[in-house]
Structure 1
């Protein structure tokens, strides 16, 4: 099952016909040392680990599950960082919710089949990466809170 925000998403309206309804993607900012962990998606953009909130699922367990699937590690979900709408296409948007994340133990990160690459980047490198600005904002917020 594709969990990337780049997957085709239909824009729908609520049953009342007035409010838009978007898929929700829960993402985590994870630092290993002073480097943030990012994954490259099928659009060749770097993104935070995480994925789509499933029906009946709460955000925190969703993010812990997604990070375990995508990186092969267990984490503690910490602070809520940001929430923003990402227009994937002109008529398709995803609601992005980001959290700060702390690894529970030293473990090797593993790339899953869901992404093209796994990278660890210093804060000085973030500005030059191809990614939505909302991810950069979340990375900066968590880095500040972690004293990086």
Structure 2
């Protein structure tokens, strides 16, 4: 996964104090498209370290506000309902159906050398993905994802 990062120090600085510094550039290089077949409009699906395991088929969804864990991953991590804390707000699935979550759980998610604690909402519905990682994770990393790259 190609990720562009903004320098943290540039956010919220007084623009008058940084007139001499070059503005941060948010972008990707042609080389970042290596090993992709163009043109495409595929979902961004990655492998991430979750709770110490390499977890495949994790979809990065910039349009979602919550991180979701599906049954295959829940069972694969040997989690039980006792590991969950209550989550009382219903969700709406891709098909428009209301889904009642089983609960939520905080788990470490590693990408590269960075580890972020993620609050997964656990649902018991079918998905071709094991999990969905969303805006809260991207914002915590200070990352921008690119489906093109």
User: Could you say which structure has the higher strand fraction?
Assistant: 1
Q: Same fold (TM over 0.5)?
A: no
- TM-score with structure 1 setting the length: 0.27
- TM-score with structure 2 setting the length: 0.27
Rg comparison, structure with higher value: 2
